[in-house]
Structure formats: structure tokens, C-alpha cells
Amino acid sequence: MTQEIGGFAAFNLNPNILAAVTATGYEEPSAIQQQSIPIIMAGHDMIGQAQTGTGKTAAFALPILHRIDPAKREPQALILAPTRELALQVATAFETYAKQMPGVTVVAVYGGAPMGPQLKAIRNGAQIVVATPGRLCDHLRRDEKVLATVNHLVLDEADEMLKLGFMDDLEVIFKALPATRQTVLFSATLPQSIRAIAERHLRDPQHVKIQTKTQTVTAIEQAHLLVHADQKTSAVLSLLEVEDFDALIMFVRTKQATLDLASALEAKGYKAAALNGDIAQNQRERVIDSLKDGRLDIVVATDVAARGLDVPRITHVFNVDMPYDPESYVHRIGRTGRAGREGRALLLVTPRERRMLQVIERVTGQKVAEVRLPDAQAVLDARIKKLTNSLSPLVAEAESTHGDLLDRLTADIGCSPRALAAALLCKATNGQALTLAAIEKERPLVPNNAPRGDRPERSGDRPERSDRERRAPVPLAEGRARCRTALGARDGIAAKNLLGAILNEGGLAREAIGRIQVRDSFSLVELPEDGLERLLTKLKDTRVAGKQLKLRRYRED
């Protein structure tokens, strides 16, 4: 067994769980895992202050799996998550960690999917139920005993659940569970409302908080790029085109990711290699030596494997996967800017990880500016600059060594020197795209398709109304659905009328309602996906400005 796996082995988890964790490629527990796993395994209630990206899902999933009895075919653990996306993500994580536990099944229960199969899966004996509160309450209304056997409850992203207006639903769910259950609450922030829940529903909870102390990072220019998880490799390849680097280290989370990314880079002609805990020590040293002397330019590493790495040539650090905590971020980017040189650090942020970015900014006391993917013009300029740099030192000498050959070839081929030089460039650049049109065609990502999530609309440069009405809708935030009413500005409607009507008659919290867009002949409102059908039924007879609201789910396609 390698030294790194010792980290997880020390918890004494069920060997089948440990085997699954090892297979995922995790090398060592993150800080929140280190602290939470023993507490939850011992059966205590717990309050964990941690956000997405810290490894919090495994922090509760592993000990909960350890505590359930696979032989019992009944719900034993309930995980509540604010959105359907998170519920699915958590359910998938449980499935991964339970891969080698025969008989363990997981069901995800959320709005927008038929209720029957969900209830059937619960009744068929799924031990782990991952649910959004609204939909779970719908199930409880049909069968109030459905959760009677649950003895572990996890509230994931509790603050988000309250923001989405799930307080009442949570109370209903607490009542439906045995009082003797274990309760674990994870939340990025602990406002009074969360503390009040903990006081009422947790028994003598232990607190876990990842301590963050302010750290300064000087001489390193930092930036971040918003990107979807499945677009990371393309984004990295685009960034490499325009970043002027000497040597570069990229951080990812798993061994597999080091291998995948390193081979994608090699395929594009970069001198790249992977560095992870599975690679023997002497081989790791060889990789680092190669990075030092320029036989390699890029190393793709996990945190563990990059420990102690000190290579003055490193001008750039790419955080391709988010670090677990700000300390590790500071540690990672400290690989550049060595010996008084300047360094540059780029962080890829997926929509769910934006909160972690804010924590990093707070802890480091520095703004991490947003950059966009380079556009085709920037890529073209960078390629031409590289070509210029590689050719200009040769020009003076080459004329004397190869000038006569040029004359002979132009004569033999019967072409102009310009035509011959163009043919040579074509050969030398190996078919690389060197016009705007060709670059645009080859690029899988365009700079402005990065996820914007719930960014507010900019108020400047608005097109005329007719244009605006045709314009594609702004991307939806996670957990929200867009609804449409045929009432618009021409009916005398303003956003505040819609807001008032939905708040009063729908019984939602203000935070539960997203963007409201009033157009001339219709309006769009963003509402919580979970419990949407119930809400629309409630609003069935609502009137605004004397007319029927008739709010319906709006499909963009």
C-alpha cells in the first residue's frame, strides 16, 4: 500500500469503502474529511462549516456508508440538498463510494421527474435517499411513514436550502424522522436561522470548521476563468496558446486526471508529463529534473505529488481543479514567483465553485480578476508571434547558408520566391491554422460561451426592444425554472406587480424568486424548480392588474 492511501486507511472504514475510494484516485483526505469522518463514524451529531469544493460530500458520504447495514433493505440515510443538480451529484458520489458494497442502492428524489418510480425505489429498499425538500414533502404527503426507518440525516448546503424557502418543508421532514437519528448539518455560512435549526434538531453537535488565516501572495498575478467541468481541457489548451510561459505546473484532483490531461497536452505537441502518488519516487524525481532542465515544460500534478516541488523555471500555475481550501491554493500558486521572479496563476472555476473563489479572495486579501478565453484574433496573434520569434534569429544566417538553394529551387520549380517561402511556411507550421477563419473553425470553445450563471444583466448597450424580445434568454441559475405569463408591459405590468403577486399568493421567500423580465407582450419569472408544480397550482387563479396571470413553465427550445 502506498503511503498516501494510509491517509484514508487510518479511518478504519469498511474495507469495501476504502477500496472504492482508492479506485477513485483520491490520494489523501481533505481537511474537512480529516476532521468530519471520525466524528460521523462515531455516531455524533455534527455541524460542518464548509463549501462546495472542500470535499464535503465524501466527508459525510464515507462515514454514513460505513454506518449503514447493507443487509437491511430499507431507507437508513437521508441526505437533503437544495437543488436537483446537487441532489444528483451527491447521489452519484454515494454510488461511486458504494460501488464495492453489494446490495447498497441509492435513490435521488427531486422535482420535475415522475414521483412513482422514486417512491418505488424507496419502497424497494434503497438504503440511501438523496432528496430535495420540496419533492420529499410531496412523498411524505402520500406516505407519511416512508422515512420511519431513517437513522442518519444530512442537511447539505443548509444555508442554500433556507434561501430557497425550504424552512417549512424541513420542519415537516424533521417530524417524519425518528428522534433518535444522527443529524449532520453542512453549511457554508452559519447565520442565526441555521443556528436555530441546529439548536432545535441536533443533539450536542460537534463543530467542524476549516480554519482559514489570511495569507499574502505577492509577485504573483492571479486570474480566474469560469468554465464548465467538461470543458476544462479545451479551456486549458486555449489558454496555453496565449500565455507566455517558460515552465508550467497544472494542479488536478485525481491521479486519473493527471494522466488524462498530460496525454491531451502531449497530443497537442506540448512537452508534458503526469506526476501523481502512484508514480515511483525515482520516476517522480526524473520528471522534476526534466522540468528543471527544459526537457519538459508542463507537469500535471496532484497536491500530494507536487509537495516540496521547487523549480525556478516555473512561470505559471494553472489550478485546473479547485483546491480544497485557501491554504492549499496559496501553497499551489507559491510554486511560481520563485526567487523574486514574477509568476502568474490561473484558476478554473465551475459555476458551483464560485463561492470558493470568494473565500480565496477573502483569505488572500486579493481580488482574483476574471479573464475570458482568448478569442480567435488573440490566438492568431500569439501563433504569429511565436513563429516570428522562432524565425527571426535564423534570417541573417540562413540567407548565406540557404540563399543559393532558394534560387535553385525557385528556378527548378518555376515559382516566385514568395510562393516558395509560403510552401516552406506551410511545411514548417505543420498545417497549423494561421488565419482567423481557420482558427475559428478548429476551436471547440468560443470565448463567450463560458457559464455566466446568475450574473445580472448589464444595463448598458441594450438593443432595441424588438431585438430584445428575440434575444436568447439569459442562462438559468441552478435549481431554478423559468416560467412565462402572457401578461407584459402592454398590459400595464411591472416587475414589482409580478413579484408582489407571487410572494403573496405563492407563499415564497423573496430569495426564492430569481430574475423577472417584463417584455412588451409577455414576462418571464425564475422560480425554484423544486416544488414548482405545487406552486403553479397555488397561483392558478391569481390575477395581476385585473388579468389572469396564467403562469406556465417555459421551455427554451
Q: How far is the CB of 17 from ligand AMP (least distance, A)?
A: 13
Dihedral angle sign, alpha carbons of residues 303, 308, 314, 316: positive
Specify whether the CB–CB gap between 104 and 70 falls below 8 A: yes
Shortest distance, position 36 Cβ to ligand AMP, whole Å: 11
Least distance to ligand AMP from the beta carbon of 75, Å? 22
Q: What is the closest distance, in whole angstroms, from the C-beta atom of residue 58 to ligand AMP in the complex?
A: 4
Select from 135, 224, 253, 443 the one that contacts ligand AMP (CB under 6 A).
253
Residue 383 C-alpha cell reads as 501563433
* Amino acid occupying residue 195: R
Question: Residues 6 or more apart from 185 whose CB is under 8 A from it?
Answer: 46, 47, 48, 154, 155, 158, 194, 197, 198, 202, 205
CB of 97 vs ligand AMP, minimal distance in Å: 10
Task: State the pairing for strand pair 182-187/46-49.
Answer: parallel
Report the nearest approach of ligand AMP to the CB of residue 33 (Å).
Answer: 6
DSSP string, 253-306: SSHHHHHHHHHHHHHTT--EEEE-TTS-HHHHHHHHHHHHHTS-SEEEE-TTTT
If binding is defined by CB under 6 A, does position 132 make contact with ligand AMP?
no
Phi and psi angles of residue 224, each rounded to the nearest 5 degrees, phi first: -135, 160
**Contacts for 456 with CB less than 8 Å, ≥ 6 apart:** 515
Which grid cell is 277?
502518488
Site membership for ligand AMP, residue 54 (CB under 6 A): yes
Q: Is 97 in the site for ligand AMP (CB under 6 A)?
A: no
- By CB under 6 A, tell whether 523 contacts ligand AMP: no
Q: Using CB under 6 A, which of 13, 18, 45, 55 touches ligand AMP?
A: 55
If the CB atoms of residues 55 and 165 are measured against ligand AMP, the closer one turns out to be 55
What is the number of residues in the chain?
557
How far apart, in whole angstroms, are the C-alpha atoms of residue 337 and residue 339? 7
Q: Which is nearer to ligand AMP, 32 or 549 (CB)?
A: 32
Give the span between the Cα atoms of 400 and 550, in whole angstroms. 82
**Candidates 41-49, 53-61, 325-333, 514-522 — which segment interacts with ligand AMP by CB under 6 A?**
53-61
The CA-based angle 290-390-396, given to 5 degrees, is 130
**Residue closer to ligand AMP (CB basis): 56 or 232:** 56
CB atoms within 10 A of CB 451: 16
Minimum distance of ligand AMP from residue 201's CB (angstroms): 23
Classify residue 415 by burial, with Cβ atoms within 10 Å: 0-12, 13-18, 19+: middle
Per CB under 6 A, the list member of 22, 151, 206, 254 interacting with ligand AMP is: 254
For 529-539, give one letter per residue: b (16+ CB within 10 A) or e.
bbbbebbbeeb
For the CB of residue 352, give the shortest distance to ligand AMP in the complex, in Å. 7
Residue 361 CB, nearest approach to ligand AMP (Å) = 18
Residue pointed to by grid coordinates 406587480: 497
Asked whether 170 and 161 are in contact (CB, 8 A), the reply is: yes
Among 14, 35, 49, 52, binds ligand AMP (CB under 6 A): 52
Specify the residue, 165 or 479, whose C-beta has the smaller distance to ligand AMP.
479
C-alpha cell at 162: 433556507
CB of 104 to ligand AMP, least distance (A): 18
Binding mask 11-50 for ligand AMP (x = CB under 6 A): ---------------x--xx--x-----------------
Q: How many residues form the binding site for ligand AMP (CB under 6 A)?
A: 13
The yes or no reply on residue 80 touching ligand AMP (CB under 6 A) is no
Q: Does 56 bind ligand AMP (CB under 6 A)?
A: yes
Q: Which is nearer to ligand AMP, 56 or 163 (CB)?
A: 56
Q: Is 328 in the site for ligand AMP (CB under 6 A)?
A: no
Among 34, 49, 57, 222, binds ligand AMP (CB under 6 A): 57
> Is residue 255 near ligand AMP by the rule CB under 6 A?
no
Residues contributing to the site for ligand AMP (CB under 6 A): 26, 29-30, 33, 52-58, 253-254
